[in-house]
Structure 1
Amino acid sequence: MFPKNTWYVACTPDEIDGKPLGRTICGQKIAFYRGAENKVAAVEDFCPHRGAALSLGYVEHGNLVCGYHGLVMGCDGKVVSMPMQRVAGFPCVKSYPVVERYGFIWVWPGEAELADDSLIPHLEWAVSPEWAYGGGLYHINCDYRLMIDNLMDLTHEAYVHTGSIGQDEIDESPVNTKVEGDHVYTSRYMDNIMAPPFWANALRANGLDDKVPVDRWQISVFSPPSHVLIDVGVAHAGNGGINAPKEHKAAAIVVDFMTPETETSHWYFWGMARNFKPEDAELTKSIREGQGHIFSQDLEVLEAQQRNLQDYPDRRLLMLNIDTGGVQSRRILDRMIKAEQTPAAEPA
């Protein structure tokens, strides 16, 4: 259902400020916390004494203390001590590779010895002062792959997101899909149209006229295991569209990190990074609120879709050309999962 030998976004740093966080990722219950020298740590959320959730405890001297009977757990999953008890022979619990980077906590839920932090994708918008980012988190009761399907085919915007980013021209414009290695690209270009409300607001915020025709683009990029970054924007028509000079456009990257919880639920880290007026904190807040509303509309649709799929498991879903991006993304995931499940060849 989901690859494990890969990096997922587990949480944001503020979620572990002052106390541990318990979160299920790829079917595994994990406790995240800040250990020695404020470094992020992650261990199985299971106390080997009586099975209590370690995430309900607290951090002391860089170790995680179980809130049930006081067992002290090290960042490596080894039991350190327990008041008035001999615990040297207690079994270890699993510890997980974790990295704090780009404003997120990343976790590798698979085989620890395979973890390589160079595989975490580079996010230029997260480190450049020319960009501003605002985002949030939703817990969604649906297969994470349904969200990938949703983001790799933005046709639904014309129906789900009327009044914000939706417009008829989306449904009237062809979609192009290409695969390059483990990346899938879907693109749609709409020339000489009027900007929908969200983008009209963005133009005004960037000091541009919102009453003239624009060229609009949407380029969704899937990279495994479950990341979709979408290059979006509008430019005054006739200035080069996506390649227009900054003074003629409002552009952004829609950020989507889907982290599986179970086979029918996931954590959705969403946001938008923009490279116009990055110093405007109020604009960041306003865009974040607008994006939050837009993504909440997807939530309702996807959870209802998941319920239907569970109620009618034998129904065959129909595939159209607009579904190609999602189909190709799933093929990449299937290959990754198959590779993990295939035993390594014995050495000669």
Structure 2
Amino acid sequence: MFPKNAWYVACTPDEIDDKPLGRTICNERIAFYRRSDGQVAAVEDFCPHRGAQLSLGSVCEGNLVCGYHGLVMGCDGKTVSMPGQRVQGFPTINAYPVVERHGFVWVWPGEAELADSAAIHHLAWAESPDWAYGGGLYHIACDYRLMVDNLMDLTHETYVHTGSIGQKEIDEAPVTTKTEGEHVITSRFMHGVMAPPFWRANLRGNGLADDVPVDRWQVCHFHPPSHVMIEVGVAHAGKGGYDAPAKDKVSSIVVDFLTPETGTSMWYFWGMARNFAVKDTNLTAQIRDGQARVFAEDTAVLEAQQRNLQRHPGRRLLMLNIDAGGVQSRRIIERKVAAEDPRRLVA
């Protein structure tokens, strides 16, 4: 399943700028909203009066107001007031550690006393004016670990993304996988190939020729609980590949935050950070739209895979050399789940 004592991306700031947001994270139903000081708060999405969803209410003077009978809930999970009632004896609901950082809202759905914001995944590109970012959000009906498998083995691009980022050379290039502590790295390098459509567009966006051979790379980084950052790019062949000067290449980081909703559904925060033509907002929109189409193709495959696995729960699946990145990542997830409670470990 999923570790709960971890930081997950819950939403983007714009989702809660003017209203509460209800979202299930790791089977925890949580209401997110802004306090009067502008900070984000997160409490259990359950009114202690009659069990209504607090997220369907409103925010007034920094408190969450239930839209059913007007109960006012504080950010600590204690009832502040309710029309015509004394609230001293009202039960407390859960409050969750929450942090706004790097352009995302992060939540800790596990034991609150263990939360340390210093453990939030560091995103150097999010703090630098030398990078531009564009992304989005998908709700996907699949186990988040299937997406981990998908992102740590990009062989599928040849078959799933034939019109955008796929090419036959992906199949032919050797894959290397290594694990450094809780960091899994899968790498693939292609030399002297023609760029596929998505990368031809990016070459043009950086003022480079798109009709000459290129060296292409894909370096996938898994960090627990479920974050995958992928270094991708192409450089004019013979210019140094991954290490080529900026004037000869286009390179980006594919950003993937995989937040479990339930055991069979997830929130997929995706995007791309780039360090070329960073002020070109049209290019940012173009890349985002192209990436959205790519991920929509993944969504169709993964949701069908989830349905098939549920129909055949006893089937044994093959583990090939191309699966090493996903296998190593899953082992790290399993160790974290077992450390919290061995009884929760599910294959």
Match for residue 46 of structure 1? 46
Cα offsets for 1:132-164 (capped at 9, x unmatched): 000000000000000000000000000000011
Q: Does 1:245 align with 2:206?
A: no
1:256 matched residue in structure 2 = 256
Matched residue type, 2:212: V
Moved over 4 A (4+): none
Asked whether 1:99 is paired with 2:99, we answer yes
> Tell me, what secondary structure is at the counterpart of 1:276?
coil
Q: Output the CA distance in 2 between the equivalents of 1:222 and 1:292.
A: 21
Q: How many Å apart are 1:36 and its aligned residue? A: 2.3
- Pairing of 1:282-301 with structure 2 (within 5 A): 282-301=282-301
Partner residue in 2 for 1:157: 157
Structure 1 residue aligned with 2:136: 136
Determine the structure 2 residue equivalent to 1:194.
194
Deviation at 1:232, TM superposition (A): 0.1
* 1: CA distance, partners of 2:147 / 2:311: 19
Q: Does 1:276 align with 2:242?
A: no
TM-score, length-scaled by structure 1 = 0.98
Q: Percent identity?
A: 73
List aligned pairs for 1:309-328, cutoff 5 A. Answer: 309-328=309-328
- The residue aligned with 1:66 is 66
Rounded Cα–Cα distance in structure 2 between residues aligned with 1:291 and 1:139: 16
Alpha-carbon RMSD across the aligned residues, in angstroms, is 0.8
User: 2:175: which partner in 1?
Assistant: 175
Deviation at 1:122, TM superposition (A): 1.1
Partner AA of 2:120 in structure 1: I
Distance 1:199 1:283 in 2: 12
Deviations 1:54-83 (A, max 9, x none): 000000011000000000000000000000
Instruction: Provide the rounded CA distance (Å) in 2 between the counterparts of 1:209 and 1:87.
Output: 69
The alignment partner of 1:6 has SS state of: coil
Q: In structure 1, how many angstroms separate the alpha carbons of the residues matched to 2:130 and 2:207?
A: 17
* CA apart distance, 1:341: 0.9
Q: Structure 2: how far apart are the matches of 1:300 and 1:210?
A: 30
User: How many angstroms apart in 2 are the aligned matches of 1:271 and 1:214?
Assistant: 24
State the one-letter code of the partner of 2:153. Answer: D
Find the residue that maps to 2:300 and give its secondary structure.
Answer: helix
Q: In 1, Cα distance between the equivalents of 2:67 and 2:164? A: 46
What letter corresponds to residue 151 of structure 2 in structure 1?
L
SS at match of 1:38: coil
1:342 deviation in Å? 5.4
Quote the Cα distance in structure 2 between the aligned partners of 1:281 and 1:224: 32
Distance (whole Å) between structure 2 residues aligned to residue 165 and residue 252 of structure 1: 14
Unaligned runs of 5+ in 1: 344-348
Could you report, residue by residue, the CA deviation over 1:250-305 in whole angstroms, capped at 9, with x for unpaired residues?
A: 00000000000000000000000000010000100010000000000000000000
Cα distance in 1, alignment partners of residues 285 and 311 from structure 2: 39
Residue 175 of structure 1 aligns to which amino acid in structure 2? V
Q: TM-score, normalised by structure 2?
A: 0.98
**Structure 2 residue aligned with 1:335:** 335
Query: Partners in 2 of 1:18 and 1:193 — Cα distance?
Result: 48
Distance 1:162 1:207 in 2: 25
In structure 2, stretches of 5+ residues that fail to align are none
How far does residue 87 in structure 1 lie from its aligned partner after superposition? 1.3
Distance 1:4 1:312 in 2: 27
Show CA shifts across 1:89-146 (max 9, x none).
Answer: 0010000000000000000000000000000011011110110000000000000000
